[in-house]
Amino acid sequence: MRFMIIVPATPESEAGVLPTEQQLLDMTAYNEELLKAGVLVDGEGLRESSKGARLTYSTDGEVTVTDGPFAEAKELIAGFTMIEVSSKEEAIEWLKNWPRSCAEGEFTLELRQVFAPEDFGDAFTPELQEREARMREEAARAAAQG
C-alpha cells in the first residue's frame, strides 16, 4: 500500500521562508531511514480523504489520530513524502517519528492512501494497465535523464 504524507503549508512556508540547516539535517536523516527501510517512493494520484488520517502532535508529546474525511478543502500543501508500507497502521507508525524540528509547537500531517490498479475494478482493463505501466516506465526514464 502506498501512502502520501502531506505537509500543510504554514504562514512561513507561504512567505518563502526556507528550512534551517537543522531542519534539513533532521528531514534528511528521516528520509534516509525511510530509504534504508525500503519504504520511500514518489508521487501518485490520491485516494479520497475518507481513506486517510491526520496525526496531531501536542506539545506534551501526545499523538492524536483522526480518521477522514476532512472538510477543510482550502488548505495548502508545503511538501509531501510518499511511502509504500503494508498497512495504514504501519504508515501511521512512520509518521509518529516525523522530525519535530520541522515545525514549532503543535502541527498536523495528513495521510492519504494512493489508488492501486485493483481499486478500479473491471474499468481498468488489461490494455489500460499496460498503457499505464509503459507511461510510468517512460516517465521514470525521463526523470533519470534529468
pLDDT tens column, 52-67:
788 999 999 999 998 8
Confidence of residue 47 (pLDDT cuts 50, 70, 90): low
Mean pLDDT of 111-121: 90
CATH architecture of 2-115: 2-Layer Sandwich (3.30)
Nearest to 2 by CA among 97, 82, 117, 108: 82
pLDDT in tens, 63-108: 999 887 666 545 767 788 999 999 999 999 999 999 988 877 888 8
Please give the mean pLDDT across all residues of the chain: 85
Domain ranges within the chain, ordered by starting residue? 2-115, 117-146
Per-residue cell: 122 = 473491471
